[in-house]
Chains A and B, each alone.
Chain A
Amino acid sequence: MMGTSPLARIGLVVALVIALLWTVLPLYWVLKFAFETSGEIALFPPPLFPPHPQPGAFYSIFGFPYKLASGNTLLPSGQSHQILLGLRNSLIVAVIVTAITLIVVVPLAYVFARLEFRHRNKLLTAVLLAVSSPPVSTLIPFYALYVQLDLVNTLTGLIIVTLTITIPFVTWMLIGFFRNLPPVERLARIDGFSRVYTFARIMVPLGRGGIAVAAGIAFLFSWNEYVYAQVLVTGSEAVTLPAAVSGFLFQDPEPSQLAASMWLSVLPPFLLCFFLQKHIGEMNLVDPVR
């Protein structure tokens, strides 16, 4: 630790503990619920640890029965079909959204970050305007449009809508990152490489850390997206995991199964952030309009 006064150190520890409690406690509490029965969840005061931890809820949400130690059997959840569909659909949507976002955004951000052209700042402002508008503001127009185009309850519709969020946001992130790369384009021109070769074979490998983070962010956005999914695909064959999980709130409330499915949806983003952590620090989030 830095050479600071004991008081400052205590302050730092207290701040860290508060921050950790703030983020970790809700996650723990949900995890605790997942290993309890409804009766145990209803206990007051609540126990800090599950009195008889068992993974029954995880069996239920995947559609399997589970035999408790007491001899009772936990039945498969009525929502299991939706959960499994949601898991599959969320994965499909997130992967496709991530791929398309990268294909569009990497060249776009590069051009905005490193090239000079007419109306550059005006065009950039137009791209970034979308970052500042809340997603809900476009929800109703999209819904009306989708009814006409027959895109309600389809994965295609959800992918298109999610891209309208990920593309501007990830562009904004990557511009700052690309701008901070050293000016190796001049080196590449002396070495005789075309602009396209320079971009594809030099700048992309050079910026792979930032691009990985951009991919992660696009995946997270898509994976966590709830508002559009709730309106556009809930209850259909195109349901995504967040929308399917919310189903527990409305029919046959089973808190331990809700908790288990929430953990199921938290896990991929959690792992993703863990592995991308090193590169996230390298990102340079600055005002891209300059």
Chain B
Amino acid sequence: MARIRLDGVRKVYGSQVAVHQMDLDIADGELLVLLGPSGCGKTTTMNMIAGLTEPSAGRITFDGADVTSQPPHHRNIAMVFQSSLLYPHLTARQNIAMSLKRSGLSQSAVAERITEAATVLDIARLLDKMPSELSGGERQRVATAKAIVRHPAAFLLDEPLAALDAALRLVLRSELVNLQKRLNTTMIFVTHDQTEAMTMGDRIAVMRGGTVQQIGCPDDIYNRPETLFVAGFVGSPPMNFFEGETRASDGHVGFAAGPMRGRVPAPYAGNKRLAAGQPVTLAVRPQHLRVQQAASAEAMPATVFALEHLGKESVVIFDAPGQPAKLRAIVEPGFNARVGERLHVVPDMTQALLFDPQTERAIPVR
């Protein structure tokens, strides 16, 4: 068990900054997800926590002890790599045993630990198989057994489920969360899949370009995104953005985007700095976008680009004039529309958020 802290950690490769000034505080027993697109520095961050990569600057502590220059083995961490990497020339049992080779445990203690880990992950019958004889899910379980057998202070998982098919991913991610909660061990999980992040994390750190954009619980990240990037990256289908500006309209602050007119969302009415004529981006989740046939003042005309039927609902994707991004609306499953058809969409202003397009940051409510 460990509380892991990163203070001003930075990693530079030549002239390229992989991770800028990074501060993280991961509580003991917490499951933190590092979420971001490829190249955002999440794997580099994890490798620095593991000790595989030495930070260019900053300090990493485990339970207050400085481990910045300690090799991985001295940090008492366990790591599961992309595609659940195993030694291909060793059996599952030998793979798991490799984790304990440097532990100084007696042979009988090692055997006991392996049996224990194999029981927890239900892989006893796989122990004498070679990795090439295992399915993707079985490899993942063996890799996890290899991790827990060490009784580590923290688990570090680098996209272990990325190569698996969707159904299996669903099963394994709940198993991993269940295991982490039962063992109550700190876990850091790297992924680019926002669904995985939302479903697994106690907290999520959304990363982009080597910096943490926002860190918080899934509810915060989803409902109170602090940047346009977080708003657009988290949520499926993704959030809609209307680029427009504020308008003065008889005592209220109004919002205009193309032909669409509305009032700024109610919570923002108290923000005195929202002056008329200021460019703003209005962000609305697809479930808060209403589709209608008729034109109206608060509606944006939009052309149907595609229709996706998901069974319990459908998603209509629109092109709107003057808007660089596509718009998406969740509609009833029976919804019917032709591609190319002209419809109108109305954002639910009570649920909308405002962002400053210059700084890409959320505009505060007051």
Contact = CB atoms under 8 A, between A and B. Distances in A.
Contacts of A193: 101-102
Given A192-B72, A206-B87, A206-B88, A186 B52 contact: yes
Interface string B86-103: 111100000000110110
Contacts of A202: 87
Contacts of A191: 73, 98-99, 101-102
A182 B101 CA distance: 21
B72 to A, nearest CB: 5
A184 B98 CA distance: 12
Contacts of B78: 190
Interface in A77-105: none
A205 B89 contact: yes
Contacts of A187: 79, 81, 85-87, 98
Contacts of A188: 98
Contacts of B52: 186, 189-190
B31 to A, nearest CB: 19
A190 B79 CA distance: 7
Contacts of A205: 89
Contacts of A186: 52, 79, 81, 85
B102 to A, nearest CB: 4
A191 B77 CA distance: 9
Contact of A189 (B71, B88, B89, B101): B71
B77 A184 contact: no
Interface string A182-216: 11101111111100000000100110000000000
A120 to B, nearest CB: 14
Contacts of B98: 187-188, 191
Nearest to A209: B89
Contacts of B87: 184, 187, 202, 206
A190 B50 contact: yes
A189 B73 CA distance: 7
A189 B79 CA distance: 10
A190 B72 contact: yes
Contact of B85 (A182, A189, A192): A182
A193 B87 CA distance: 13
Contacts of B79: 186-187, 190
Contacts of B85: 182-184, 186-187
Interface residues of B, number: 19
Nearest to A205: B89
Most chain B beta-carbon contacts within 10 A, residue among A184, A188, A205? A184
Contact of A190 (B77, B86, B88, B89): B77
Contacts of B51: 189
A190 B155 CA distance: 11
Given A186-B52, A187-B81, A192 B102 contact: yes
A182 B132 CA distance: 12
B227 to A, nearest CB: 32
A27 B72 CA distance: 58
A183 B83 CA distance: 11
B73 A192 contact: yes
Interface string A211-244: 0000000000000000000000000000000000
A190 B103 CA distance: 12
A63 to B, nearest CB: 47
A126 to B, nearest CB: 24
A203 B64 CA distance: 36
- Most interface-central of A183, A190, A192, A202 (chain B CB within 10 A): A190
B187 to A, nearest CB: 15
B102 A182 contact: no
A205 B101 CA distance: 17
Contacts of A183: 81, 85
A184 B99 CA distance: 13
Most buried by B among A183, A184, A189, A192: A192
Interface string B149-184: 000000000000000000000000000000000000
A187 B72 CA distance: 10
A192 B74 CA distance: 8
A190 B71 CA distance: 8
Nearest to A208: B89
Interface in B39-82: 50-52, 71-73, 77-79, 81
B307 to A, nearest CB: 38
A182 B89 contact: no
A103 to B, nearest CB: 22
B101 A192 contact: yes
Interface in A147-162: none
Contacts of B50: 190
Contacts of A182: 85, 88
Contacts of B81: 183, 186-187
Contacts of B89: 205-206
20 contacts: A182-B85, A184-B85, A186-B52, A186-B79, A186-B81, A187-B81, A187-B85, A187-B86, A187-B98, A188-B98, A190-B73, A190-B78, A191-B98, A191-B99, A192-B71, A192-B72, A192-B73, A193-B102, A202-B87, A206-B89
Interface of A: 182-184, 186-193, 202, 205-206
Given A187-B85, A206-B89, 18 more contacts: A182-B88, A183-B85, A184-B85, A184-B87, A186-B52, A187-B86, A187-B98, A190-B50, A190-B72, A191-B73, A191-B98, A191-B102, A192-B72, A192-B73, A192-B101, A193-B101, A202-B87, A206-B87
Query: Which 8 A-B pairs give the minimum distances between C-beta atoms?
Result: A192-B73, A192-B102, A206-B89, A190-B79, A190-B72, A191-B98, A189-B72, A184-B87
